[in-house]
Amino acid sequence: MRTLIISDVHANLTALDAVLADAGEFSRVLCLGDLVGYGPDPNQCFERVRTLPGLQCVKGNHDAAILGEIETLAFNNEARASLAWLETELSLANRNWLSGLDELKVIGHITLAHGSPRNPVWEYILDVSTARKNMRQFETPICLVGHTHLPCIYQMEGEHLLSTRHQQMVQDEPFRLEYKSIVNPGSVGQPRDHDPRSAYMIYDDEDDSWTYHRVAYDVSQVQERILAAGLPKRHAYRLEEGW
């Protein structure tokens, strides 16, 4: 069975559709949260994701904020502006679906969280020290996270933590995870690793392999919709260079 792994769609329908087209056939989707925030297409992204086969999804920090579960003062000014706009745009049906999501899920041998297993909605895993502390917070061999928008793998070999940044993962080449691992597939809708292409991963349980992928999409089309909606200009401009 091929599993599509996505995170941080951030209301970017054009990027999401590019990933779905590029991924080919899959039987299951693991979504690591933040379907909303920043982008211009919140309802359309919900409607697309909710129909995907075998969907398992957890709640992100932007998702929690629009539900009133996180104080918006925790966000920067531009993110708050996006959330204020979203408040007027998100349909009741999509809000209700979002409210039913868990913050942490275990699916077979994989734990799902948006931020970290220790603090599923909010904590960023950006360094070896934080990753090491979180290795003790989940029982499965693998934990999938998002939130940072940076593709990355941390692996625990005995007492030694190994960090693999996206530059060291070879795009489109399958690999195996031999040790306990925290894996971040990167962002679909707002990459921040200075590569504007959408990031996602595929897990194939037939040979226990993982593959890291990137796909280009029409950034200018999304920028136009962001500006037309009156959302912060920075949310449009940053998509060009992936920051």
Instruction: Give residue 163's identity as a one-letter amino acid code.
Output: S
pLDDT for res 164: 57
- Joined tokens for residue 109: 């041998």
Q: Tens digit of pLDDT for each residue in 174-214?
A: 999 989 999 999 999 999 999 999 999 999 999 999 999 99
Helices (H) and strands (E) in the chain, counts: 8, 11
pLDDT for res 236: 98
pLDDT for res 162: 67
Instruction: Give residue 235's identity as a one-letter amino acid code.
Output: H
3-state secondary structure of 227: helix
Regarding beta strands 152-157 and 28-31, do their DSSP bridges make them parallel or antiparallel, or are they unpaired?
A: unpaired
- Give the residue ranges of the chain where pLDDT is below 50: 166-167
Output phi, psi for 200, to 5 deg.
-160, 170
Q: Tens digit of pLDDT for each residue in 141-156?
A: 999 999 999 999 999 8
Query: For the chain, how many residues are written?
Result: 243
- Residue 41 · residue 12 · CB < 8 Å: yes
pLDDT for res 167: 44
- Domain boundaries along the sequence of the chain: 2-240
Alpha carbons 34 and 59: distance in angstroms, whole number:
7
Q: Exposure pattern of 164-202 as b/e (b: 16+ CB <10 Å)?
A: eebeebeeeeeeeeebbbbbbbbbbbbbbbebbbbbbbb
pLDDT for res 157: 82
Q: Which residues pair with 154 in a beta bridge?
A: 163, 182
* Fold of the domain built from segment(s) 2-240: Purple Acid Phosphatase; chain A, domain 2 (3.60.21)
